[in-house]
A and B are shown apart, each in its own frame.
Chain A
Amino acid sequence: MSSASPTPTEGTAPTEGTAPAEGTAPAEGTAPAEGTAPAEGTAPAEGTAPAAGVTPAAGTVPAGETAGGTRRRRRGPRTWLAALPLVAFTGLCFGLPLGALLYGAVTRTDPGTGATALTGEHLSRSLQGPYLGSLLGSVQLSALTALIASVLGVLIAQAVVTSRSQALRNAVLTASGVLANFGGVPLAFAFIATVGISGVVTQLADLSSLGWNLYSFTGLAVVYLYFLIPLMVLVILPALDGLRPQWREAAQNAGAGGWQYWRHVGIPVLAPSLLGGFVLLFGSAFAAHATAAALVGGSVPLVTLKIADALSGNVLVGQENVALALGLDMILIAGLVMAVHLPLQRRSARWLR
């Protein structure tokens, strides 16, 4: 019947299920309800997460000394104690669902006898035919929207920073905080009412004859940008603030032009934050379900929609384990994206303090 209920998918894919609880802590209530998981604990956690209480010392070590390695090792046990609540929480909220997911994805239970056996069937099915198509579709949509939103978000944030207007800054930050959380079904319906088939603007401007179609890949990308760009602004604004004016002055004194400053100072320093922002946006778009479900139903193949179909449908019987396998695929992809980001983040986080 109604496919607008997001709960089934969120329950199964740990990336989503645990996001809301955590997303609020590190990102100061700015992260959207959906899909903040992948970048969690990496980019925004730095400042506020419980473990951060012990990190400031680590920041001074590499800056002042070359032999920081030995010191870090000595502080080990105490760090572990402080981080214990976080570790326990993560283990409970990520580990348990992940274990259940893994178990379901590689086993099969015979309905008659109740016997359980190992099988690779679900995983291989999740990487074939329409399921593979949905994975690729999701990656494509997420990468594209994250890229566009990253670029536009940085430009907007930079404009706000250089304007030095406190009023503008407050306005943009507040608006971004609200809009970044404005996802899901309400957003979809806002767009349907405005530029849907019988939407107000569609009727007034006769958009249909211009080839506009909200219920397509392009339409979905536009809707995603609506909450991804504000998210990028929120993430990148502090990093842009961290670029000290002295660096630019120093560069200018040394005879560098604007482009050279960005090429050799600005962008390298910002790189981890930019990449972190991109990863966050990618995860946000990758895990989004309700918006897409309300907007395009099954006509744009997305992995979250496929999981929902398999878990909660009236048509296909016995697809639960394929849904779990798809969830596992999602985690692997999110993990891969994060793996690119982590080393870079560690390397130059020290510049932005």
Chain B
Amino acid sequence: MLGAAVLTTATACGAAPEGAAGADGDGAKAATAASAKDFGGMDALVEAAKREGALHVIALPPDWANYGELIKTFETTYGIEIESENPDAASADEIAAVKSRKGQKRAPDVLDLGIAFARSGAEEGLFAPYKVEAWDKIPAAQKDEAGRWYNDYGGYVSIGCDAKRIPNCPKTFADLLEPEYKGKVALNGNPTKSGSAFGGVYAAALANKGSFADIQPGIDFFGKLKKSGNFIPVESTPATVEKGETPISIDWDYLNAGYADQFKDKGVDWQVAVPTDGVYAQFYSQAINKDAPHPAAARLWMEYLYSAEGQNLWLKGYARPVLLPAMTADGTADKAFVAKLPAVTGTPAFPASAELDKAKATLAEKWDKALS
């Protein structure tokens, strides 16, 4: 009987979250809205989101791609409180939170995921399809046709280097093998776990005659780096960078460039180079939880992220927003921020889904052996 009632009011939303703000019919409408039009325009969406009054996010570190400012600006603009949970969580934790808190008030509303998790999550039917106003400007290769996920921002694998401690900063992967960098080269974590460390190995593969389908040369490269004593297994973080524990750190360019800003006053001259021999870019993806407790606020957050303002805030954090090409063309991209991005030669290419899966499987199998 209950099932029938739900079916008549809203298909595809069996678990209309209890306690969501607004009237029942309204909540159901927000939960199935596939674009701002379904609300009756942006103003109505803002209105509905304000009524909900809160947004629950997960895994958004404030010192990552300027998320701190993004969150604060959203809160002050719309008067919607953002509850940020477990900022350092990984994509797997986000998916686990969606599954385990289905129908609860504490479930995350929106997700910022690694691409593989976005794809698998969409297949499992965890996300609500929604197309933001700027949908058409997102390149076709960077979105799910149905709108269940689309790329948000990305960056290049880069080499950060503490110029105060390292007299001659490395610019390429080949440079890293030089004996002068003994005990100095670190990754952002373990590549079987950390997306940026995985990107580092992938880029090293490209620099060493590998390809998207063949990550082995990258694994071999780090094996060689370990044998020579250059590689240290310390996970680079803002703390290790500041303390000089990881004087050379392979990481996303937006993180490395952010460290440069962050530690300028503390006597760390952090230089960032995108290695010319291994250019690899990767984007994260944004998605809405199908059972979001604040469905309207979740959709407003998406509109905000893909507005010129949101995209420019990512840009300010040195991340390259997905709409950057379109915004450069129509002049809405902030030129001052664009000028500060680390220089890159050539255009990025992206691995196909099957290539990525294969590379990860190879990495999981071979990484331990190569490094021990």
Nearest CB of chain B from residue A184's CB, rounded to whole Å = 16
* Closest-CB distance, B60 to chain A (whole angstroms): 11
Minimum Cβ distance to chain A for residue B241 (Å):
11
In the complex, A299 Cα to B233 Cα: how many Å? 6
Docked-complex contact B372 and A314, CB < 8 angstroms: no
Interface status of A301 (Cβ within 8 A of chain B) = yes
Residues of chain A lying within 8 A (CB to CB) of residue B237: 2
> Scoring B residues 46 to 83 as 1 if CB is less than 8 Å from chain A, else 0, what string do you get?
00000000000001010010000000000000000000
Separation of A319 and B91 alpha carbons in the complex (Å): 12
- Check if B245 sits within 8 Å of A130, measured CB to CB: no
In the assembled complex, the Cα of A308 lies from the Cα of B92 at a distance in Å of 10
Contact call A196/B245, Cβ cutoff below 8 A: yes
CB–CB A130/B91 < 8 A: no
**Contact of B213 with A by CB under 8 A:** no
B191 contact set on A, CB distance < 8 A? 298, 315
Interface of chain A, main secondary structure? loop
Whether B117 and A312, one on each chain, are in contact in the complex, defined by CB atoms closer than 8 angstroms, is: no
Interface contact A3-B193, CB-CB below 8 Å? yes
Cross-chain contact B117 with A3 (CB below 8 angstroms): no
Interface string of B222-252 (1 = CB under 8 A from A): 0000100000111101000001110000000
Residues of A within 8 A of B364 (CB): 130, 316
A300 within 8 A of B: yes
Chain A hits for B244, CB < 8 A: 198
B81 to A: closest C-beta gap in Å: 24
A309 in contact with B193 (CB, 8 Å): yes
Residue numbers in A under 8 Å from B368 (CB-CB): 130, 133-134, 298, 301
The one of B91, B188, B232 in contact with A313, judged by C-beta atoms closer than 8 angstroms, is B91
Chain B residues near A111: list those with CB within 8 A. 120, 123-124
State how many residues of chain B have any CB contact under 8 Å with chain A: 46
Q: In the assembled complex, which residues on chain B have CB atoms less than 8 Å from the CB atom of A213?
A: 183
Q: Is A56 an interface residue (CB 8 A)?
A: no
| Bound Cα distance A208, B193 (Å) | 28
B360 interfacial contact with A, CB 8 Å: yes
In angstroms, Cα B235 to Cα A296, docked, is 8
Closest Cβ neighbor of A1 among chain B residues: B88
Q: Is B145 an interface residue (CB 8 A)?
A: no
Given A297-B235, A299-B233, A313-B90, the answer on whether A130 and B193 have CB atoms closer than 8 Å is no
Q: Is there an interface contact between B367 and A315, defined as CB atoms closer than 8 Å?
A: no
Are A301 and B192 interface neighbours, CB within 8 A?
A: no
Distance in angstroms from A320 CB to nearest chain B CB is 8
How many Å lie between the Cα of A197 and that of B237 in the bound state? 15
Whether A5 contacts B88 by the Cβ 8 Å rule is yes
Known contacts A297-B233, A297-B235, A301-B372, A312 near B89 by CB under 8 Å: yes
Closest to B64 in A: A1
Contact bitstring B99-132, A, C-beta under 8 A = 1, else 0: 0000000000000001011001001100000000
Interface residues as binary, A106-143 with B (CB distance below 8 Å gives 1, 0 otherwise): 00000110000000000000000110011000000000
Which chain B residues (203-237) contact chain A, with CB distance < 8 Å?
A: 226, 232-235, 237
Binary contact readout A309-326 vs B (1 if CB under 8 angstroms, 0 otherwise): 101111111111000000
| Chain B interface SS verdict (over half) | loop
User: Which residue from chain B places its CB closest to the CB of A301 in the assembled complex?
Assistant: B368
Whether B369 is near chain A, meaning CB under 8 Å from some CB there, is yes
Chain B residues near A4 (CB-CB < 8 A): 88, 235
**Min C-beta distance of B112 to chain A, whole Å:** 11
- For window 318-359 of chain B, which residues contact chain A by CB distance below 8 Å? none
Does B365 reach chain A (CB closer than 8 Å)? yes
Q: What's the tally of chain A residues with a CB closer than 8 Å to chain B?
A: 38
Q: A130-B368, A215-B232, A298-B368 are in contact. Are A315 and B243 (CB under 8 A)?
A: no
CB distance from B36 to the nearest CB of A (A): 30
CB under 8 Å from chain A, chain B span 14-47: none
Whether the pair B365, A130 counts as a contact (CB closer than 8 A) is yes
B189 contacts the other chain (CB 8 A): yes
**A residues less than 8 Å from B117 (CB atoms):** 314, 317
Q: Are A2 and B189 in contact (CB under 8 A)?
A: yes
B163 adjacent to chain A (CB < 8 Å): no
Nearest neighbor of B222 in chain A, beta-carbon distance? A299
Whether the Cβ atoms of B371 and A299 lie closer than 8 Å is yes
Contact B234 A297 (CB under 8 A): yes
Q: A1-B88, A197-B234, A312-B93 are in contact. Are A298 and B193 (CB under 8 A)?
A: yes
Pairwise interchain contact A1-B360, C-beta atoms closer than 8 A: no
Contact A198 B243 (CB under 8 A): yes
Inter-chain contact A314/B114, CB cutoff 8 Å: yes
Nearest residue, chain B, Cβ from A319: B92
Measured CB to CB, the closest approach of chain B to A291, in angstroms, equals 14
Question: How far, in Å, is B3 (CB) from chain A's closest CB?
Answer: 16
A residues near B190, Cβ cutoff 8 Å: 3, 297-298, 305, 309
> Which residues of the other chain, A, contact B371 by a CB distance below 8 angstroms?
298-299
Bound form: Cα–Cα A296–B194 in Å:
14
Q: Which of A129, A301, A314 contacts B92 (CB 8 A)?
A: A314
Query: Does B317 count as interface, using CB distance less than 8 angstroms?
Result: no
Least CB distance from B191 to A in Å reads 7
Query: A192 in the interface, Cβ–Cβ < 8 Å?
Result: yes
Interchain CB contact (< 8 A) of B90 among A1, A129, A196:
A1
Q: How far is the CB of A259 from chain B (nearest CB, A)?
A: 42
Q: B193 is contacted by which of A133, A197, A314 (Cβ under 8 Å)?
A: A314
> Is A8 close to B, CB under 8 A?
yes
What is the bound-complex CA distance between A257 and B239, given in angstroms?
58
CB atoms of B183 and A1 under 8 A apart: no
Check A208 against B183 for contact (C-beta < 8 Å): yes
Chain B residues with CB below 8 A from A312, complex form: 89-90, 92-93, 96, 193
Q: B92 contacts which chain A residues (CB < 8 A)?
A: 311-314, 317, 319-320
B372 touches A300 (CB 8 A): yes
- In the complex, chain A residues whose CB is within 8 Å of the CB of B91: 313-314
Closest to B229 in A: A213
Q: Point out the residues of chain A lying under 8 angstroms from B192, CB to CB.
A: 298, 309, 313, 315-316
* 14 sampled A-B residue pairs with Cβ under 8 A: A1-B89, A1-B188, A1-B194, A2-B88, A3-B235, A130-B364, A297-B189, A297-B235, A298-B192, A299-B226, A311-B96, A313-B90, A315-B195, A320-B92
- Top-10 shortest CB links A-B: A298-B190, A299-B233, A314-B195, A313-B193, A2-B88, A111-B124, A309-B193, A314-B114, A130-B368, A297-B233
Known pairs A192-B245, A197-B232 / 9 extra A-B pairs, C-beta < 8 Å: A1-B194, A130-B369, A213-B183, A298-B191, A299-B226, A299-B372, A309-B192, A312-B90, A316-B192
